[in-house]
Chains A and B, each alone.
Chain A
Amino acid sequence: MHLTFRQVGADALLVRAPDGESVAALYAALLARRDELPAITEIVPAARTVLLDGLADSALTRQRLAGWQLPPHPPADGPLIELPTVYDGADLAEVAALWGCSAAEAVRLHSSFEYRVAFCGFSPGFGYLTGLPAPYEVPRRDTPRSAVPAGSVALAGPYTGVYPSSSPGGWQLLGRTSVVLWDTGREPAALLAPGVRVRFVPVADA
């Protein structure tokens, strides 16, 4: 895999990988092999990059990383979380229409794929899940909602997300889960941390 490096300020490196799969592979390798590198404070994966921040020695980090042989895909054995989901979202019919199928078929499709938390952002514990095949990508809503309830399972672009807390949001709402995704009193605080695999399991009521 070809990685490119950009220095960001005095003590951070932005490592760019060719696609989302290789970013996930790089992130998994960074977690597994962190002790081969000089100290790093933050490892922040995103769509096409992993940010390494608070580096003790960015030149050496870059040099070591450039020598790593990385697989094109992340390991398939990350932790798997099943989220019981009531598929009664306000945008389910609209998403089904975009997919050209019935609402029941949209539920079957969405729950048939395995997802992976690619990265977090937007708010603490909000995971951007990849795994939805490209033909099923849907645009954001033209008008964001001022309040999306906590636990909402939603789609935007290539991503599925679950709102950890009530917040404004422009994603298409498919349903809801009653699983608490973010709890700072719990270890781990975030259920949907980068690298976690996720399945949505349709249920009649959460």
Chain B
Amino acid sequence: MTGLVVVRPGPLTTVQDLGRRGVAHLGVPRAGALDEPALRAANRLVGNPAGTAGLETTLGGVALRAVGPQLIAVTGAPAAVRLDGRSVAWGAAVTVPDGSVLDLGPATHGVRGYLAVAGGLAVPPVLGSRSADLLSGLGPAPLTAGQLLPVGPRFPGDRADLIPLPAPPAELVLRLHPGPHLDWFAAAARPLLARSRYLVATASNRIALRTEGPALPRSRSGELPSEGMVLGAVQVPPDGRPVIFLADHPTTGGYPVIGVVPTADLPAAAQARPGTPVRFVPLTR
């Protein structure tokens, strides 16, 4: 079997594609790559369709040994890439001979790296996706050392040589559509959100980007009856600090939503390290 053996799994490395659709009514989160353009780019560099399953690393990288020759590209958070100890290109396709080890080092900026292999990771799909969903445990578990990841047959067609992507943000600017529960907040809440500096909190994960900063005052206490939640929803739990829903977010929730971040702004959120300043820019609708 052709594939990749996990030599060093890194702190949290998961298989991701573009996630699950059409199953939110069963309580199934969408999952999928948090920095979707980065996964798409990595796939393009090795000639895969955009939605092919690859790896998402978290801060610490990953090391893999090729079983059979492989073509691999790494995008997302910039990091040193080594092939059997020699430096090779980041953000471009690299041929990894049978038995060689490709080592993606710790991210120098940003959080999440994306590794695509020509042919894609051929783990069994669950409900139409190979993505690991860390909220509900669907899909493959995070990588462990020694595990073999099967790789599928290569796709015909061309591949890109270079795809420019934005650098991880020094300051995370999130535009904000008005949320559906503005009546749950004090009049001062939205202006406070717009003018305050928040920081990305350490407790952020694939479920949500959490923030530290001024608590947003509510006009009503308690919880609303469970309601469907969208990607990018900015929920405000009782501590008043806005929480931005990412790919593994629960499908329903009971905390009021003060705004919704456009999906175009979420890849940057996926790359913002704890401590990164966050600024919210309200949109009129």
Which residues of A does B touch, CB under 8 Å? 6-10, 12, 14, 41-51, 53-54, 119-126, 128, 184, 189-190, 193-194
Residues of chain B within 8 A (CB-CB) of A125 are: 26-27
| Min CB gap B223→A, angstroms | 11
Residues of chain B within 8 A (CB-CB) of A121 are: 27, 226, 250-252
Q: Out of A41, A45, A184, which one reaches B22, CB within 8 Å? A: A41
Residues of chain B within 8 A (CB-CB) of A124 are: 26-28, 136, 138
| Min CB gap A18→B, angstroms | 12
Complex: A68 Cα to B26 Cα, angstroms? 25
Residues of chain B within 8 A (CB-CB) of A8 are: 177, 179-180, 230, 233, 257, 260
Q: Which residue of chain A has the shortest Cβ distance to B230 in the bound complex?
A: A12
- Give the total number of A-B pairs whose CB atoms are below 8 A apart: 104
Q: Out of A9, A44, A46, A126, which one reaches B260, CB within 8 Å? A: A9
Question: Is B281's beta carbon under 8 Å from chain A?
Answer: no
- A48 near B25: Cβ-Cβ < 8 Å: no
Contact A6:B180 (CB < 8 A) given known A42-B24, A189-B127: yes
- A122 near B227: Cβ-Cβ < 8 Å: no
Complex: A45 Cα to B126 Cα, angstroms? 23
9 A-B Cβ contacts within 8 A?
A42-B228, A44-B228, A44-B251, A44-B252, A51-B229, A124-B138, A125-B26, A125-B27, A189-B23
| Min CB gap B208→A, angstroms | 16
Residues of chain B within 8 A (CB-CB) of A54 are: 21
- A190 near B230: Cβ-Cβ < 8 Å: no
| Min CB gap B280→A, angstroms | 14
Residues of chain B within 8 A (CB-CB) of A7 are: 177, 180, 285
Contact A193:B260 (CB < 8 A) given known A44-B228, A120-B251, A123-B136: no
- A49 near B27: Cβ-Cβ < 8 Å: no
Residues of chain B within 8 A (CB-CB) of A43 are: 25
The 10 A-B residue pairs whose C-beta atoms are closest, nearest first, are A51-B228, A9-B260, A47-B225, A44-B228, A121-B252, A120-B27, A6-B180, A42-B24, A190-B26, A124-B28
Q: Which residue of chain B has the shortest Cβ distance to A53 in the bound complex?
A: B230
- A50 near B225: Cβ-Cβ < 8 Å: no
Question: Is B232's beta carbon under 8 Å from chain A?
Answer: yes
Residues of chain A within 8 A (CB-CB) of B136 are: 123-124
Contact A46:B228 (CB < 8 A) given known A121-B250, A123-B27: yes
Question: Is B262's beta carbon under 8 Å from chain A?
Answer: yes
Complex: A189 Cα to B129 Cα, angstroms? 14
- B:118-147 near A, CB below 8 Å: 126-127, 136, 138
Known A46-B225, A124-B136; 13 more pairs at CB < 8 Å: A8-B260, A41-B22, A44-B228, A44-B252, A46-B252, A49-B227, A120-B25, A120-B26, A120-B27, A121-B226, A121-B250, A123-B136, A124-B26
| Min CB gap B22→A, angstroms | 7
Complex: A52 Cα to B257 Cα, angstroms? 16
Most buried by B among A7, A8, A189: A8
- A42 near B252: Cβ-Cβ < 8 Å: no
Q: Which residue of chain A has the shortest Cβ distance to B125 in the bound complex?
A: A184
Q: Which residue of chain A has the shortest Cβ distance to B182 in the bound complex?
A: A6
Residues of chain A within 8 A (CB-CB) of B21 are: 41-42, 54
Residues of chain A within 8 A (CB-CB) of B229 are: 51
Residues of chain A within 8 A (CB-CB) of B251 are: 44, 120-121
- B:261-275 near A, CB below 8 Å: 261-263
Complex: A60 Cα to B272 Cα, angstroms? 36
Residues of chain A within 8 A (CB-CB) of B138 are: 124, 184
| Min CB gap A57→B, angstroms | 16
- A10 near B177: Cβ-Cβ < 8 Å: yes
| Min CB gap A159→B, angstroms | 10
| Min CB gap B227→A, angstroms | 5
Q: Which residue of chain B has the shortest Cβ distance to A121 in the bound complex?
A: B252
Q: Out of A10, A119, A189, which one reaches B226, CB within 8 Å? A: A119
- B262 near A48: Cβ-Cβ < 8 Å: no
Complex: A122 Cα to B261 Cα, angstroms? 23
| Min CB gap B135→A, angstroms | 8
Residues of chain B within 8 A (CB-CB) of A12 are: 230, 260
Complex: A124 Cα to B257 Cα, angstroms? 22
| Min CB gap B73→A, angstroms | 29
